[in-house]
Structure 1
């Protein structure tokens, strides 16, 4: 298994207002990760997160798994930590805060 890791950083809102833009960028970045590699999403700069942001992360996680890659969330901001705690999602994203 490869130990190659690609980091994708999201700053600002992770909300419905940016979901389409971020989905395109994340899909392109994920495609560049070698098979067996890890796709790390850095959320330390996220200022707000809503259900569209959660859906985007879940979709990216599913896409990563389907292509033999892993998705990890790193550096969650307080806004992300609050959503993950409320929805009990940290374990779904191998979140390291």
Structure 2
């Protein structure tokens, strides 16, 4: 069964410690984690490192991670760092109101 988790705040150094605990706790409860990043308005390298940590943990534990709802900010960071392919999830643009 897939467990959804949505991040509705910035993924920056200011939220990194709490988000690390949140992400790892969510991963501990499931074999398949679906991470919705559509609500992320700001992301820095700390946020990117959290995603990379989560990806590494998923691989080491033999679990599955799907990232959905990439916000434009998340898309820009992944594209800028040439890491979109690392996560292997299609990045669909959400319609802006």
Q: Which of residues 43, 48, 58 is equivalent to 1:64?
A: 58
Which residues of 2 match residues 22-41 of structure 1 at below 5 A?
Answer: 22-33=19-30, 37-41=31-35
Give me the CA root mean square deviation: 1.0
* 1:54-94 Cα distance to aligned partner (Å, 9 max, x none): 10000011111111102221110010011011011111112
Which residues of 2 match residues 45-60 of structure 1 at below 5 A?
Answer: 45-60=39-54
TM-score, length-scaled by structure 1: 0.87
For these two proteins, the number of residue pairs brought into alignment is 91
Q: Which runs of 5+ in 2 are unaligned?
A: 92-97
Runs of 4+ in 1 over 6 A off after TM superposition: none
TM-score, length-scaled by structure 2: 0.87
Q: Which runs of 5+ in 1 are unaligned?
A: none
Q: Which residue of 1 aligns with 2:3?
A: 6
Q: Which residue of 1 aligns with 2:12?
A: 15
Q: Which residue of 2 aligns with 1:83?
A: 77
**Aligned-pair distance for 1:47?**
0.2
